């Protein structure tokens, strides 16, 4: 069964396989996550579960959320995310999901918010080559060039690659391999980089483009 868990990026390092090859990995603190709500087709029109992650001080929690957490029987949590599930009856409010849901060799899709880089020009943002620095050119060396037409249709089309805010977007990296797990520390190590900076929130779930992992023995 495909499983979803919330985590945070702790950083990158490298480990060595049994042949001595160095593998770049990202260390993710995955869970523990508490199920705050279970939604079904009969009551909500779709099947999903609501996950909470990372403890939060009660004095920083609003009254409506305090009641929501109290109903689920858990302490206030910092992050709340919802994920679709095929069979909501297999989950219950208050249930804890840990990193043990993932094992070495699993393929996962990881979603996070990419690093914000502020306002950027077309060369940095889109990889434009820029203008020639010689042969009589008087244009800005890092400018975008022509962005429209002179007469017809005499406008700039939508989605034209232009300067603007770069980064800070939701990004999903698919089919990353779980290299190792440390269930006693709530850690999973995945091969390669993942979106976002240190301590950034991540959504880790079994890959949609790979076969679902077999049922785990409890």
pLDDT in tens, 13-71: 999 988 888 999 999 998 799 999 899 888 889 999 999 998 889 899 899 999 988 88
29: nearest Cα among 58, 3, 2, 53: 53
Q: How far apart are CA 43 and CA 54, in angstroms?
A: 28
Q: Are 43 and 50 in contact (CB under 8 A)?
A: no
The distance in angstroms from the start CA to the end CA of the chain is 13
The pLDDT of residue 177 is: 92
Q: Name the pLDDT band for 210 (thresholds 50, 70, 90).
A: confident
Instruction: Note if the pTM is more than 0.85.
Output: no
201 by DSSP, 3-state: which?
Answer: strand
199 or 216: whose pLDDT is higher? 199
124 by DSSP, 3-state: which?
Answer: helix
Q: Measure Cα distances from 24 to 95, 177, 186, 206 in Å.
A: 33, 11, 19, 20
Question: Percent of the chain at pLDDT above 90?
Answer: 45
The pLDDT of residue 115 is: 93
Could you read off the pLDDT of 136-160 as tens digits, one per residue? 777 778 888 888 888 888 888 999 9
The pLDDT of residue 27 is: 94
Element counts in the chain: helices (H) and strands (E): 3, 12
The pLDDT of residue 173 is: 94
Whether the pLDDT of residue 164 is over 80: the answer is yes
């Amino acid at each position: 069964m495909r499983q979803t868990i919330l985590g945070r990026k702790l950083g990158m390092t490298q480990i060595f396989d049994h042949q001595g090859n160095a593998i770049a990995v990202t260390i993710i603190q995955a869970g523990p996550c508490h199920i705050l709500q279970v939604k079904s087709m009969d009551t909500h029109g779709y099947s999903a579960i609501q996950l909470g992650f990372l403890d939060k001080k009660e004095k920083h929690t609003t009254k409506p959320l305090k009641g929501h957490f109290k109903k689920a029987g858990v302490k206030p949590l910092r992050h709340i995310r919802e994920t679709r599930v095929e069979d909501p009856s297999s989950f219950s409010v208050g249930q804890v999901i840990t990193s043990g849901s993932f094992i070495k060799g699993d393929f996962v899709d990881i979603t996070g918010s990419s690093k914000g880089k502020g306002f950027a020009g077309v060369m940095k943002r889109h990889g434009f080559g820029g203008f020639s620095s010689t042969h009589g050119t008087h244009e800005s060396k890092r400018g975008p060039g022509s962005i429209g037409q002179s007469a017809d249709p005499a406008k700039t089309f939508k989605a034209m690659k232009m300067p603007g805010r770069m980064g800070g977007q939701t990004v999903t990296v698919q089919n990353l391999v779980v290299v190792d797990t440390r269930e006693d520390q709530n850690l999973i190590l995945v091969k390669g980089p993942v979106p976002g900076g240190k301590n950034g929130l991540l959504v880790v779930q079994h890959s949609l483009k790979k076969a679902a992992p077999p049922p785990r023995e409890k």
